[in-house]
Amino acid sequence: MRPPVFWKNPPDAPGWQAHALAPLGCLYARATAKRLRRDGLKLPVPIICVGNINVGGTGKTPTALALIALLQARGAVVHVVSRGYGGTLLGPVQVNPAHHTAAEVGDEPILLALQAPTWVARDRAAGANAAAAAGASVIILDDGFQNPAVHKDLSLVVVDAAAGFGNARPLPAGPLRETLSAGLARADLVLTIGPDVAQTRFATPLPCPRLQGQLVPLETGMPWQGLRTFAFAGIGNPAKFFTSLESLGATIVGREGLDDHQPLSDALMTRLAAQARALNARLVTTEKDAIRLPDHWRAEVLVLPVRLHIRDESPLIAALDKLSL
């Protein structure tokens, strides 16, 4: 489902819909707060949570990938634990990119497993235990900021710099999984992702250090300049992908934003391919969407990977130093 338009309203003018749904939002926030009062499992290895307060995609996967690289460069044995959104396996199971499919473990865990051992587990504590037993010296919890099953030693909250926290109301009155004040109070760091203009306009007061990041296309040697493309993306904010593609000089003659994690069925791909052919264009998608492509479509679709660049990593480095990582 696509988010309601009124969720994007400013906090001081949330819209009549938000006011009407405020009682339900209050109940939702109270239920979350009650759940979070439970003590989580404390493991002998540090747990770093990459999460958000908003629902939907804010850039957690690129953040986790950047964190993996940073920790591995410091000599850490990094494992990732994910719920495996969209997958059928309950776990705990270690993801094998050569064996598992997105339908089994979700698309993001396969992408993460290409960089570090990754576990899928509906029970986050069981997944973290499995990772620790397998030799992890640090565990990245992909999402799970509102899940109390595991004690977090460092919580990094990711937010889209342009969208911010929307109208700052809890579900269903707004896009938040809990009240903004409660979520920010538990955050050790907040990472805002977006271009410079969006970073400048981000005005939410924060009680913790802020990191500023931007998604940068990965150099693959592909000659994007002037290439006629039909771009499609099933991520939290497809417009970000389209902007990245255009920044490389590609000409987008057709585009389609899909729902986050939307299955790429044969029927859908056949339709998109026909539209691309009619426009004399190449199909292009994101690295995460490519994981969900049926095997016989992989050779037909170009992939544009992106990576997170953090402007000043010093607050993050200081936090990792405190964990002796």
Return binding residues for ATP.
Answer: 54-61
Question: 123: exposed, middle or buried (C-beta count within 10 Å: 0-12, 13-18, 19+)?
Answer: middle
Which helix (H) or strand (E) segment holds residue 286: the answer is strand 282-286
- d(CA 115, CA 117) in angstroms, rounded, equals 7
CB 76 within 8 A of CB 137: yes
Please give the structure tokens belonging to residue 100: 């598992």
* Residues tagged in the binding site annotation: 54-61
Give one DSSP letter per residue of 212-267, joined into a string. EEEEEEPP-S---TT-EEEEEE-SS-HHHHHHHHHHTT-EEEEEEEPPTT----HH
- d(CA 215, CA 8) in angstroms, rounded, equals 22
Local structure of 79: helix, strand or coil:
strand
> How far lies 303's CA from each of 233, 252, 283, in Å?
11, 14, 9
CB 144 within 8 A of CB 154: no
> How far lies 32's CA from each of 8, 36, 38, 159, in Å?
22, 6, 11, 19
Please give the structure tokens belonging to residue 101: 């499919």
